[in-house]
């Protein structure tokens, strides 16, 4: 058995099975925790009837999705209607293939590294994740299109525009990391944040981290960027016509997407499976136990981000569409471009791992952003643009 | 007619520096929600725990009161049926076997699904025979089940009389509203 697993292929196969099982469970329980956290924030208890503490609630939900009547409305584009949830779900699942979970592993304890605890380790891992992330917009767009429902179509259109707009600052924020690390291989990006004179990228580039976080919220269609699911305006959003398990797949896909996004940001900015100063979590620790510890640490970091996603969702109201676009094009994009430019300067000067240099630039940029944002006029909102150009101050009473 | 000079146009308040940045506001909001996450919940586990009620005021399932001799207190005057805005009360009155009143209800049905629980019947009743009880968890599997007849309404009285005693137990027949000859001696109530 161990001999077989020493082959990367079979080890990857085992990892795949493990990750898929863990991921499906994690998605189901994300929904449970979403409901719990929303309840706690609203001074409620949340699901607590099905099983102890309501822990069997995801099973009950899954059973409900499975057993409901699977309706295909009469005037939908049938192939696309069936394809959309598959794309939404499948694309969200395969993003995990390149996440580095536990570094290198020495399975038989003979001192030689046998395999990497990762399903696939392509040199372009980061591009792969970006590509897969962009594909996920197809699930939303096809879902909205195939529905033959104008509200769902509106949702799909909004979602497309939103995802395209936020992919650019996202890419720029990632470029900062890529330039600093000098590689696209995710495991190498993790390793570049470890060791003497190296720190996690969040310490070097907190601004880029923040931009990536914001764009991830937008990419995963989470509040405050969930315009594609604005129930008040769009009935239900792009999945209005979906029911039963097809809706369930959209639903699970959203959470899978969130988990991938969290894993992505953990790898890029928070050192992946690494915790500074903790034995067993260093690149040199290659035993099986160290691998399990690393996987736990990685999962814990991802869970922390999932909590952040949910916390924000139940705190913030949704953006208006013009605010959403302005934030991306006039706010995040220029800042992230400046950051990427600054990262190249740092590399040119050979200071890319110097905390004072990187952090100082970030602080200067932050100060600049604050000054500019204060100098700019408060933007004219949609309602005001249609008003005649009159003085808005009250005229003196003539009486 | 509203003149232009009567109109006061109010400006949207200018955003302050922190408000325009948006982020301090977000952090403020997140602090609030985080604080609520650790607050005590006010949820009641409904079927097991029940809320304190204002027994006298609550307008739940109806009941038909019994008088002191255990008879139905209703005199089949049709006041409640007339007052009911939802037309959910159906009374069949007939000659009373008792001396103190002319009529009594042979049949008295209330469609609890149709009722809007406004309490007009209670107000209309001259002998305080129909009352709304604090009972709010009325359930049934069919629509027919939710039409309560006289016996069921009397059962509701037996069930709830300990919790909410009858308002004017003295009134029965014409005792409270005058004698049979139509003399308005006693007025309304004790």
**Pairs from B171-175 (Cβ < 8 Å, separation ≥ 24):** B171/B67, B171/B73, B171/B127, B171/B128, B172/B67, B172/B68, B172/B69, B172/B71, B172/B73, B172/B100, B172/B101, B172/B127, B173/B67, B173/B75, B173/B98, B173/B100, B173/B101, B173/B127, B174/B75, B174/B100, B174/B101, B175/B100
| pLDDT recorded at residue B188 | 42
Q: Which residues of chain A have pLDDT under 50?
A: 392, 397-399
Contact A378 B5 (CB under 8 A): no
> Looking at the domain assignment, is residue B122 inside a domain?
yes
Query: Chain B contacts of A374, Cβ < 8 Å?
Result: 17, 20
Give the nearest chain B residue to A224 (CA atoms). Answer: B26
Contact A45 B43 (CB under 8 A): yes
**Domain with A84 in it:** 73-377
Lowest mean pLDDT segment, chosen from A302-311, B10-19, B56-65, B140-149 = B10-19
Q: What value does the CA radius of gyration of chain B take, rounded to a whole number of Å? A: 27
Residue A117 lies in a domain: yes
Query: Is residue A160 one of the residues assigned to a domain?
Result: yes
Whole-angstrom distance, CA of residue B91 vs CA of residue B77: 9
Residue A40 lies in a domain: no
| pLDDT given at position A293 | 86
Q: What is the mean pLDDT of chain B?
A: 82
- Is B26 close to A399, i.e. CB distance below 8 A? no
Q: Is the pLDDT of residue B85 over 90?
A: yes
The pLDDT score that the predictor gives to residue A381 is 58
Q: What is the arithmetic mean of pLDDT over B122-131?
A: 88
Q: Domain for residue B153, yes or no? A: yes
Residue B41 lies in a domain: no
Q: Is the ipTM of this complex over 0.85?
A: no
Q: What is the pLDDT of residue A305?
A: 92
Q: Contact B101/B75 with Cβ under 8 angstroms?
A: yes
For chain A, the farthest-separated pair of C-alpha atoms sits apart, in whole angstroms, at 98
Question: Residue A336 domain-assigned?
Answer: yes
Interface of B with A (CB under 8 A): 4-5, 8-11, 14-15, 17, 20-21, 26, 29-30, 32-34, 36-43
Residue A9 forms part of a structural domain: no
For the entire predicted model, the pTM comes to 0.78
Q: Residues of B with CB below 8 A from A394's CB?
A: 8-10
Q: State how far Cα A30 lies from the chain centre.
A: 14
In which band, very low, low, confident or very high, does the pLDDT at B91 lie, cut at 50, 70 and 90?
Answer: very high
pLDDT at A352: 76
Q: Is A399 part of a structural domain of the chain?
A: no
Number of domains comprising chain B: 1
Share of residues in chain B with pLDDT > 90 (%):
21
Q: Does B129 fall in a domain?
A: yes
Q: Which of B30, B39, B41 sits opposite A315 (nearest CB)?
A: B30
Interface probe with A: pick from B2, B6, B7, B9, most Cβ of A within 10 Å: B9
Q: A397, B5: Cβ pair inside 8 Å? A: yes
CATH number at residue B95: 3.30.70.3270
Instruction: Count the domains in chain A.
Output: 1
pLDDT of amino acid A371:
83
Residue B40 belongs to some domain of the structure: no
- pLDDT at position B173 is 60
- Is A374 within 8 Å of B20 when comparing Cβ atoms? yes
Preferred mutation among A34, A36, A38, A40 to probe B, highest tally of B CBs within 10 A? A40
């Amino acid at each position: 058995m161990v001999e077989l697993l020493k082959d990367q292929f079979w080890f990857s196969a085992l990892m795949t099975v493990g990750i898929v099982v863990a991921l499906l469970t994690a998605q189901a329980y994300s929904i449970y925790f979403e409901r719990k956290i929303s309840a706690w924030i609203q001074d409620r208890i949340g699901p607590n009837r099905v099983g102890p503490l309501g822990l069997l609630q995801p099973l009950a939900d899954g059973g409900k999705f499975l057993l409901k009547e699977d309706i295909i409305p009469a005037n939908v584009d049938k192939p696309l209607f069936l394809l959309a949830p598959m794309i939404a779900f499948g694309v969200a699942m395969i993003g995990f293939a390149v996440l580095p979970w536990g570094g290198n592993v020495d399975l038989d304890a003979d001192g030689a590294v046998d395999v990497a605890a990762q399903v696939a380790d392509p040199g372009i891992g980061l591009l792969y994740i970006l590509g897969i992330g962009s594909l996920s917009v197809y699930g939303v767009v096809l879902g909205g299109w195939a529905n033959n429902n104008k509200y769902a179509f509106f949702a799909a259109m909004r979602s497309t525009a939103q995802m395209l707009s936020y992919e650019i600052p996202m890419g720029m924020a990632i470029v900062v990391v890529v330039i600093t690390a000098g590689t696209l291989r995710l495991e190498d990006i993790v390793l570049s944040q470890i060791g003497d004179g190296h720190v996690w990228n969040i310490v070097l580039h907190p601004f880029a981290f923040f931009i990536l976080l914001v764009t991830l919220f937008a990419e995963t269609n989470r509040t405050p960027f969930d315009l594609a699911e604005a129930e008040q305006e769009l009935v239900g959003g792009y999945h209005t016509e979906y029911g039963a398990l097809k809706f369930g797949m959209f639903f699970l896909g959203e959470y899978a997407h969130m988990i991938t996004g969290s894993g992505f940001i953990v790898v890029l900015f928070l050192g992946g499976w690494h915790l500074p100063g903790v034995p067993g979590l260093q690149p040199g620790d290659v035993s099986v136990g160290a691998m399990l510890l690393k996987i736990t640490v990685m999962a814990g970091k991802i869970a922390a981000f999932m909590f952040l996603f949910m916390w924000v969702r139940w705190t913030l109201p949704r953006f208006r569409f013009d605010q959403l676009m302005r934030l991306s094009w006039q706010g995040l994009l220029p800042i992230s471009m400046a950051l990427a430019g600054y990262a190249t300067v740092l590399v040119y000067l050979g200071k890319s791992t110097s905390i004072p240099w990187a952090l100082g630039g970030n602080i200067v940029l932050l100060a600049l952003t604050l000054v500019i944002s204060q100098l700019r006029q408060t933007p004219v909102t949609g309602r005001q643009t249609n008003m005649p150009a009159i003085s808005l101050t009250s005229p003196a009473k003539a009486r | 007619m509203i003149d232009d000079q009567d109109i006061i146009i109010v400006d949207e308040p200018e955003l302050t520096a922190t408000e325009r940045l948006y982020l301090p506001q977000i952090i403020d909001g997140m602090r609030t929600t985080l604080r609520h996450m650790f607050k005590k919940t006010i949820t009641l586990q409904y079927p097991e725990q029940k809320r304190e009620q204002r027994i006298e005021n609550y307008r739940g399932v109806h009941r038909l009161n019994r008088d002191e001799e255990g008879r139905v207190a209703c005199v089949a005057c049709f006041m409640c049926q007339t007052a009911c805005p939802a037309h959910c009360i159906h009374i069949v009155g007939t000659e009373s076997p008792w001396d103190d009143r002319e009529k009594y209800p042979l049949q008295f049905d209330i469609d609890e699904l149709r009722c809007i629980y406004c309490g007009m019947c209670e107000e209309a009743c001259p002998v305080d025979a129909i009352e709304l009880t604090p009972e709010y968890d009325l359930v049934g599997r069919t629509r027919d089940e939710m039409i309560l007849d006289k016996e069921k309404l009397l059962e509701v009285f037996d069930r709830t009389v300990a919790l909410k005693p009858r308002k004017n137990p003295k009134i029965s027949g014409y005792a409270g509203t005058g004698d049979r000859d139509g003399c308005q001696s006693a007025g309304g109530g004790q």
